[in-house]
Structure 1
Amino acid sequence: MTDSVDRLRADLVAARFSVTELGVLWGEVAAAALYRGQRIPALRAIDTYRSGPSAGLATLARVFVLGAPAPVGEFGRALPGLTVDGAVELGLVAVEDGLAVPRIDLRPYSFVDALGAGEWWIASDLGELALGHALPEDHVLGVGGASMTLSGLMFQAPVASALDLGTGCGIQALHASRHADRVVATDISDRALELAAFNARLNGVGNIEFRNGSLFSPVAGERFGQIVSNPPFVITPRRDGVPAYEYRDGGMIGDALVEAVVESAARFLASGGVAQLLANWEYRGDGDAFDRVRGWLDTGPAAELDAWVIERDVQDAAEYAETWIRDGGTRPGTAEFDALLAAWLDDFAARGVTSVGFGYVLLRRPEAGAPTLRRLERLHGALGENEAGLGVHLGTAFAAHDWEAGTPDEALLSSRLAAAPDVTEERHFWPGAEGPTAMLLRQGGGFGRTIQAGTALIALVGACDGELTVGAIAAAIADLLEVDAAELTAELLPSVRALIGDGFLVPVA
């Protein structure tokens, strides 16, 4: 098989099978239609390339990305090294009535991380568009919005070992392989592990080990410097007639799967190690879901860990159910859809669930004696600009917390800080007013936070250029405002600490 995969790789390179070239091939209008789940404009666009230098690329796009068959002769010319027989042997296509019929989805995927730009080819099972019907329960998902969110969240500092829990098509393991010496990728699906291993071979990645098993069972007794997981956290009714998709359903009731991962992670993190996972949590009755999440964090082994929980969105119970029923390929307006929606709402009603929150959970085993981080916050809305991913900002934020929490007030006053390069100041005036009615600090990266600040804090941030100490700046501002320096300093210090933790101010060595 290794020789066949090598030949496939060479053919894909020769055909220029890349994100950029596909975009050029079918154009912006067809690309937008594909994003909406419509492939006809793209199929029509590539029909004009059935001969000429882009013929091979058009054929590969037709079969592997759009999920449509192509004449065997055209398909063979697109893969001259692998050949049609080789593609059949690898399980990429089947030959039926003179046509090469796709059996998997294979497409280019591009990204930017702390090491720079990169591109891979990722194989997964055919989607609903190609199948023409709802997904089977053992479907192996390709790269989607959730997986790109998690890869963007990933800390990218070098580690000796990383664990991808529930690897699916292997995309997180591939990302981790760029900064980890060794990666272990687990899944309960043999099919997922087969595709993930194929993707690693196809992209020349050799430091990933694949293991079958549920959650942490395949790595019992081991510890890792990094754990990443897009676990099967989707809340699914436990009843007959409701599909239980392996890629998203962990077989537990409600949000118990997320609770289990959070509570178990402590046993598998090395000192200083970080776990990062996507998650959701139920809002029950009039209660706050974060109260329940705190309970997960403050009991058992998880109480030993730093924790930062970020809620990015909330859906009401009906909207949540509709989202995941459509995700499985069942369309609204059908009797199937209505039956599934009723089952979901019955399940939620049994536990008093009114809505479901989505977000990220970050856990860290702190170094001995380090201050503990407990941060649960809601950050709904747009993010800042994070070209290399949000993970770089999150890693910086953890380091900033450690520095700030370990620096007493006296030492902080003698420290030098600089405003982060992505921070801007914004002032609002009533027409004709001499002074501003509101002053804001905006963060261009990270979570795109906006802080409303008073005159003294705005002046302090503006003066933080890495030259003067915080104490000297506060004293100078007090003198200008004609207020007591000690009182103003005491008032400013908590805000300065918060700005350090959020990345607005950066300690200067």
Structure 2
Amino acid sequence: MTVSIDTAAAAALARDLDAADYRTDAVRAAWGDLPDRAIGQGLRGPALAALEGRTDPLAVVCRLLGVGAAASVAEVEAAFPACGVAGLIALDLVQVAGEVVVATALVRPQAFADGRGEVEWWIASDLDEAALGGELAPDHVLGVGGASLTLASLQLPAAAASVLDIGTGCGIQALRARRYADRVVATDVSTRALRFAALNAALAGDTAVELREGSLFEPVAGEQFDRVVSNPPFVITPRVAGVPAYEYRDAGFAGDDLVAAVVRGVGEVLTPGGVAQLLGNWEYRDGEDGLERVRAWVAASPVPLDAWIVEREQLDPLAYAQLWVRDGGSAPGGDDYARLVGAWLEDFADRGVTAVGFGYLLLRRATGVPTLARFERMPQPIDHALGPHLAASLAAHDRLAALTDAQLAASVLHVAPDVTEARHHRPGEEAPTVIELRQGAGFQRALVVDPGLAALVGACDGDLAVGVLVAAIADLLEVDPDALAAELLPRVRELVVTGFLGFDGPEPADPAG
């Protein structure tokens, strides 16, 4: 399928938005910090109040496309001199009723920063609940939300010849992937979503995003990609009459079958060594651990996969049901709220679901026997992009997988600059009862370590090899150096993969070789 939009109108709109200075900082300054935060909570009243009486182009654009409020034809023509009302209509962004222009979509600025610098796009999507004043349509196309930003921050900051974006929605992941990829193919089951994605690519001046309609891997049958990204419609939704099925969050699968299908099938569309990154939910059923379910999906792939799965959150069935019923526009106390929550709980009970996990999945098509199998729970807050850390951790894992213990002992390591140590003492006692290592970057892990490992980490200053340090610590602790090395080296490997320690210099030769 070919998705076509009026590219001339899109180019004209981009010129008008640029001329109005319709950018994140300018918009925030136009209506203030409090209204800006209110917009993020689905409240547009404070922003409209702050703009009341203003007719300058920025104010008109903010009212019309920023929050979906109406404006007069004269105001819109003045604010959009290149595009005009006719161009906005051609792009399906507005309708006209008499002398009033009514928004049918939103276009909001979206700032983003990565290893290649800062960029700001304009992202079009459907009107939100605040603008609609009611529930969303089943074919609603979501703008840039929390999940979108999370996945964007997870994408590996490394060059790729080709990237596949499954379930592209408004196209934000495809645009993000294009920062590092020569070619991006973006797919979706929704024709409406693909039209928004086409418009957003045009507004960004990007002509290298190819859009295809279809479910999961069907549109790319027989093709392979260096990278796959996906924020799929993973929300677990009851398959019963009367429960709304929103395309942006529900693909029509039962339970967590959608995520299972992506995990089992993604390896075949990856080039050897290619990486897939996605978000997902998984169920805990009658005592069966959710992460073990994901492990079984990985094992069921017809091609071998390295896997790094991070569970960030776990909700009980009631909390999960309430979250997604509210997301669809049904508020507590409303006519449908109790009925919909009940449908979710009944659906979970039928499968024996006791909890639902949410997290990040990183899968890599192994070039031999898989060497990476990390299934972790990390609910701690993280306040920065994880893409660079994931890339560094993968590189460290690969380097370590090729090192013998003797080579690791001959390696020189250094402590990462973001790592700190805390020692907790009982009053009056000299020896600490707890030694804790914390990292300020990466997953911001906190590890309790014993004195031997703490001493080794503290001594890793890029000067002496690990084996020399272990021998010195063994002498200090009056223990057998070989036994201490056997205990510490596996833990050193873990500290290197997780970013507490890093290599200095090239890989050493194997002393035994």
TM-score normalized with structure 2 length:
0.95
Aligned residue for 1:5? 10
Q: Which deviates more from structure 2 when the two are superposed, residues 408-417 or residues 72-81?
A: 72-81
**Contact 2:170-2:197 within 8 A present in 1 as well:** yes
Provide the residue aligned with 2:350 in structure 1.
350
Name the residue aligned to 2:225.
224
1:26 aligns with 2:31: yes
| 1:37 matched to 2:38 | no
Cα distance in 2 for partners of 1:171, 1:305 equals 27
**Displacement of 1:32 after TM fit?**
2.3
Provide the C-alpha distance between the structure 2 equivalents of 1:107 and 1:278, rounded to a whole number of angstroms: 24
> 1:199 Cα deviation (Å)?
0.4
Alignment of 1:484 with 2:483, yes or no, is no
Aligned to 1:156: 157
Superposition deviation, residue 434 in structure 1: 2.4
Superposition pairs of residues 336-485 of structure 1, within 5 angstroms = 336-368=336-368, 372-383=371-382, 385-386=383-384, 389-485=385-481
| AA aligned opposite 1:377 | E
Q: CA deviation at 1:87?
A: 1.5
1:15-414 correspondence to structure 2 within 5 Å: 15-48=20-53, 50-51=54-55, 55-301=56-302, 304-368=304-368, 372-383=371-382, 385-386=383-384, 389-414=385-410
SS at match of 1:445: coil
% same residue: 53
Note the C-alpha offset of 1:362: 0.9
- The residue matched to 2:227 in structure 1 has which SS? strand
| CA distance in 1: counterparts of 2:471 and 2:380, whole angstroms | 37
3-state SS in 2 of match to 1:222? coil
Tell me how far 1:481 sits from its aligned partner: 2.7
CA RMSD of aligned residues (A): 1.3
Q: Output the CA distance in 2 between the equivalents of 1:356 and 1:97.
A: 50
In 2, the alpha carbon distance for the partners of 1:263 and 1:336 equals: 36
Q: Determine the C-alpha separation between the residues in 2 that align with 1:285 and 1:448.
A: 32
**Paired residue secondary structure (2:43):** coil
- CA distance in 1: counterparts of 2:443 and 2:339, whole angstroms: 39
Q: Matches of 1:92 and 1:298 in 2, distance apart?
A: 46
| Residue segments in structure 1 that go unaligned for 5+ positions in a row | none
Q: Separation in 1 of the partners of 2:84 and 2:66? A: 19
Report if aligned partners of 2:455, 2:473 keep a CA contact under 8 Å in 1: yes
Count of aligned pairs = 500
Residue 52 of structure 2 aligns to a residue in which SS?
Answer: helix
Q: Which string of whole-angstrom CA distances, capped at 9 and with x for unpartnered residues, describes residues 74-111 of structure 1?
A: 12211111112222222221111321110111000011
Q: 2:378 is matched by which residue type in structure 1?
A: L
Cα pair 2:201 2:207 within 8 Å, conserved: yes
Q: Quick one: distance in 2 between partners of 1:154 and 1:418?
A: 26
Structure 2 Cα separation of the partners of residues 119 and 427 of structure 1:
44
> What CA distance in whole angstroms lies between the structure 2 residues aligned with 1:229 and 1:120?
20
Mapped contact 2:42–2:129 kept (Cα < 8 A): no
Judge conservation of contact 2:414–2:461 (CA < 8 Å) in 1. Answer: yes
Structure 1 distance, partners of 2:328, 2:488, is 52
Give 1:374's aligned amino acid: A
- Residue 3 of structure 2 is matched in structure 1 by none
Report SS of the residue matched to 1:335.
coil
**How big is each residue's C-alpha offset from its partner over 1:217-275, in whole Å with a ceiling of 9 and x where there is no partner?**
00000000000001111111111111111111111110011111111011101011001
The DSSP-based 3-state class of the residue aligned with 2:388 is helix
1:359 Cα deviation (Å)? 0.5
214-223 or 233-242, which moves further after superposition?
233-242
Mapped to 1, the partners of 2:292 and 2:13 lie a distance apart of 52
Q: Cα deviation per residue 1:17-69 (whole Å; 9 max; x = unaligned)?
A: 01111111111121222222221111111115x15xxx211111111111111
Query: Relative to structure 2, which stretch is displaced further, 63-72 or 472-481?
Result: 472-481
